[in-house]
Structure 1
Amino acid sequence: MSRTYVITGAASGIGRTAAEILTARGERVIGVDLQGVDVSGDLSTPEGRLAAAEEAAGLAGGTVDAVIACAGLSIPKPITASVNFFGMTEFLEAIRPALTRSEAPRVALVSSMASMQPVVPSLVDALLADDEAAVDEIATRMAEDPRTANVIYPSSKRAISRWVRREAPTERWAGAGIPLNAVAPGTVVTPMTKELLASDEGRALTDAYVPMPLNSHQGPESIAHLLIWLTSIENSHCAGQTIYCDGGADAVLRGEDVWSWNDATMRETFAEITAGLQD
């Protein structure tokens, strides 16, 4: 039996690729984007998000099996923060009642390797506090300064990965049987990155920030297939994760040890034990 998917950002890039793969498999796909798909919606405004979610749920007959949230921007303007964060979180909250009617509801979002780059903490905090007025004020100031304008994008992606981790184990999501996860791509060859990757200088800059030793830059299908698995019935227990599908960039940037931050207490305890053995 086919499942009903709602995909934001379905007109291009990763969203379009995911929609094409699912449609070819016989699944029902309801696309959401500015134009050219089933639901024309502006995810940069609260009214647009709510209207798009309501229309998508209506087209689905009131029951949605999975949402893949791909819609996003990377321009150095405040609208990037609004679309990348609220365009996902508020849309998902609005369509969540339709998800709860599914026998196997699933949600996956697109974050980014940029979430590990330097961010402006005040913008991340405002996003996570759902304070869109403060977000607009902070992002507007950031956009006016060339030193911070390009930090709007990584700040929005850091916030979305933190939101997924915060919300996934709650009663509203895990308690309702809805796995909530994100995927963090490396450099994906899409219309969003086409101009940047067109020059030697742009490619060198990109690779300095996102080194990808495995197969270099990736096609959108590499992310689409992972998003599809995360929203499949087979994913019964993966929740709250941002999965780095990035050609090894995470491993290069963070190194081999991402666990020892939590070892201090046991180190002190073990020191006490060994000291007692020596007495």
Structure 2
Amino acid sequence: MNARTYLVTGAASGIGKATAELLNSRGHRVIGADLTGTDINADLSTVVGRETLVKQATELSGGVLDAVIAVAGLSHPIPVTASVNYYGAIATLEGLRPLLTRSAAPRAVVVDSMASLQSYDEELVQLFLTGTEAQAVARCAELVESPATGHQIYSSSKRALARWLRTTATTPEWAGAGIPLNAIAPGVVLTPMTKELVATSEGRAKLNEQVPMPLNGPFDPIVAARLLVWLADGENSHLCGQVIFVDGGYDAVLRGDSTW
């Protein structure tokens, strides 16, 4: 297999780190981006950080990327989560798209979440899709005022990102240019915080009640990384605009046969 050049955001930890390590182990070149500790240090919650990512990625890649894997994201119930999860992800994909057009087999993947199926704020979703970033952040500040709505910042950002992807992937700029654009929506990923929760039978029972994942339950980051790597490989020729739930069955439990 020929070596390819990948740009991975969120590469310092979690799914992003596992993805970068997997690609490296297969002989590919990885340009990592995160707040610190990678090839490109950039804060994707800011316009300056997004511009830095594109500028340095262009320089480090020589102007050509074979794939972009946008993993960076936050789950905290704070306004900056909106800036990273939605605007940062789209700025990454749109900003680096010109570098993908110079590849013989360009691919792009973004990490969404199963939370896109959970309760969300419709006003915030609409502001993501049709308003300005300032308006969306202002709405987030309102949601933070109540513990009952603050958590909807994360789910709303992921829902809006999925809707953006579904309408964007088939456009001339992406599918028309031969660039498959897709997403994965992970279930509960085992992090230091969640590993403590599932360490006891009580914790596992509580988590299973809140987030039923009948097939093997929560998983390590490498599970998501394997799917990301395949989607970003040249072997993936026809998946377009798909949000693939790697969630142990949570989507199927929640939505049943509603997809038909």
In the superposition, the TM-score normalised over structure 1's length comes to 0.89
- Structure 1 residue 39 corresponds to structure 2 residue 40: yes
1:64-213 map, 5 Å: 64-129=65-130, 131-191=132-192, 193=194, 203-213=204-214
Are residues 202 and 94 of structure 1, via their aligned partners in 2, closer, same or farther at CA, if it must alter by over 3 Å? farther
Q: Deviations over 1:104-157 (max 9, x none)?
A: 110011111100001001111111125101111000010111110111111111
Instruction: Report SS of the residue matched to 2:182.
Output: strand
Instruction: Report SS of the residue matched to 2:146.
Output: coil
Q: Deviations over 1:207-233 (max 9, x none)?
A: 333210010111111110100110100
Aligned partners of 1:6 and 1:31 also within 8 Å? yes
Letter in 2 for 1:51: T
Deviation at 1:91, TM superposition (A): 1.5
Letter in 2 for 1:69: A
Identical counterparts, % of pairs: 55
Deviation at 1:23, TM superposition (A): 0.2
Aligned partners of 1:104 and 1:233 also within 8 Å? yes
Letter in 2 for 1:121: E
Alignment correspondent of 2:20: 19
- Structure 1 residue 255 corresponds to structure 2 residue 251: no
Q: In 1, Cα distance between the equivalents of 2:40 and 2:193? A: 21
Alignment correspondent of 2:222: 221
Deviation at 1:202, TM superposition (A): 5.9
Q: In 1, Cα distance between the equivalents of 2:42 and 2:179? A: 24
> Once superposed, what is the RMSD of the aligned Cα atoms?
1.6
Deviates more, 1:239-248 or 1:184-193: 184-193
Q: In 1, Cα distance between the equivalents of 2:28 and 2:131? A: 33
Aligned partners of 1:113 and 1:210 also within 8 Å? no
Q: Which has the larger radius of gyration?
A: 1
Deviation at 1:204, TM superposition (A): 4.6
Instruction: Report SS of the residue matched to 2:74.
Output: coil
Are residues 172 and 240 of structure 1, via their aligned partners in 2, closer, same or farther at CA, if it must alter by over 3 Å? same
1:225-236 map, 5 Å: 225-236=226-237
Alignment correspondent of 2:4: 3
Aligned pair count? 259
Q: Deviations over 1:24-79 (max 9, x none)?
A: 11000000000011000000011111211221121011000001111010111001
Deviation at 1:206, TM superposition (A): 3.6
Are residues 196 and 142 of structure 1, via their aligned partners in 2, closer, same or farther at CA, if it must alter by over 3 Å? farther
Q: In 2, Cα distance between the equivalents of 1:182 and 1:86? A: 15
Are residues 180 and 78 of structure 1, via their aligned partners in 2, closer, same or farther at CA, if it must alter by over 3 Å? same
Q: In 2, Cα distance between the equivalents of 1:190 and 1:172? A: 36
Letter in 2 for 1:110: V
Alignment correspondent of 2:57: 56
Are residues 249 and 55 of structure 1, via their aligned partners in 2, closer, same or farther at CA, if it must alter by over 3 Å? same
Deviates more, 1:26-35 or 1:85-94: 85-94
